[in-house]
Each structure stands twice: as structure tokens, then as C-alpha cells.
Amino acid sequence: RQLFRSPSVPGSVSKPVLKWGQPSDKDSPVKAKRQRRVAGTPGQEASVEPVGDGEVCLEPSQSAQLEKIENLLANDDQELIGDFSKPHLLPTVEGKDPGLKYISPDTLAAVLTGRFSSFVESSIIADCRYPYEYEGGHIKGAVNLPLQREVEEFLLEQPIVPLDASKRVIVIFHCEFSVERGPKMCKFLRERDRSCHEYPQLHYPELYVLKGGYREFFFQFPSHCEPRDYRPMEHAAFKEELRKFRGQSR
């Protein structure tokens, strides 16, 4: 297990403020499991060299040992980020789509207040609501990305990469309730990101969805929102904007 897992312990952080000017990920845990090698580095096979007395080596003939390790890896696959390099950093909660990783409003607040700065270089909050919703109140530092082309332009045309290779870039998606628009955009980014790379490499291997969306976050942490308000998608004063953006989203 320790061959493939790197421990992650929350630290303290300052989140950079970013301003903005479809089926679920088809990665198969079994496929990913088979692509990883049983050795100290990814491309090395298990060695057949003899070892000292009392120690056990992994040889191709020892199918039982290999099967045991494969089973351990299979059990851990759902906890690894998209390129299978390490476990997810943020604690997750159960959500509607089992193929996505959900975080609670408390966890997002911890990210915003710097609790994970030792491990996270950039945390991008992708607000997938329509512009009139965003303007009526949004999480501080969130980027308004309601359309797929805007997600591609902002995140893929010039990918955001960590300057410190030991740190992470994480992307957190949400919409009003994080039931439809946010999860769909999270899946879209993963699919487009996959298409740009040789499997399993990714620009953004660590994606999350904010459970409960902006509505839940605002009621729990209004001080992290600007302006301190919540404008619902079906606001009576914005029926025409809703019709327009729904048409663009199709």
C-alpha cells in the first residue's frame, strides 16, 4: 500500500484569488490498477533479485502475492486522484453522483481560510451559475464559468500548474444546489482533460464538487461571500436572462 500512497496532512494556507474577466469519468479502477506497476517507481517491474534471510521478494511466479497487492490497489482506487498519483487531499462526503468527489461547506471554508496551504498552491472555485446569479452573491475568489467554452478557455488553453511540484492545484465546482450544472461541468472538464493527454495523465487530476452548492454555503458562511447575498436561478426579475443562458448551455 505504501508503494503508491503519499500521506497528506492538512496544514495552513492562503488561497490565491482568481478573477474572471458528460457521462461521468469513464476511468476504470481495474484498468488503472493494471497500468500501475508493483515497484518503487511507475515504470519499474517487480524485481526478481534475491533478498536477505526472512524477507520475501516478489517474483512473477508468486501469483498469490501479486493478486493480494492487486486487490489492495483495487480497494484504494476510489480514493486516488485522477492520475492515480496520490490520495485525495480534502475529506469527502457522500453525494448524488458516486463518480464524483463531494466536499462539505465546512471543508471549503477551511480551504478559504488557509488550512490546506502547506499542500495546495492554487484552489480554483468554479461557479457554474449564470452571471446574474453570480453578480447577486458569490464565494470570494470564485470564477464564474457557466458555459463549457468558458471552462475550456480558462482552464485548458493555459493550464494552471503548480510552481512547486510538491503542491497541488485543486478545482472545486458548484452551482446553486450542485445537483446539475456544477457536477456536469466537473465531468466535462475531466473528459476534455483526458482527451488532451496520454492516459492517465491530466492537467487537473484533483476535482471536487461543493455539496449543497452556493445556497448551502451562503447560509452557513455568509462572511465568505460577496456581496453577502443569494440570488436564486429562478428569480422573478431575471426570467429573460434565465431563458437566454439556458439556450446557450444546450
The one-character DSSP state at 16 is: P
Cis peptide before 232 (omega within 30 of 0): no
Residue 48 C-alpha from the chain's centroid: 38
What is the C-alpha to C-alpha distance for residues 235 and 103, in angstroms, rounded to an integer? Answer: 27
As annotated, the active-site residues are 175
Strand ranges (DSSP E) for the chain? 102-103, 120-127, 138-139, 143-144, 168-174, 207-210, 225-226
The one-character DSSP state at 238 is: G
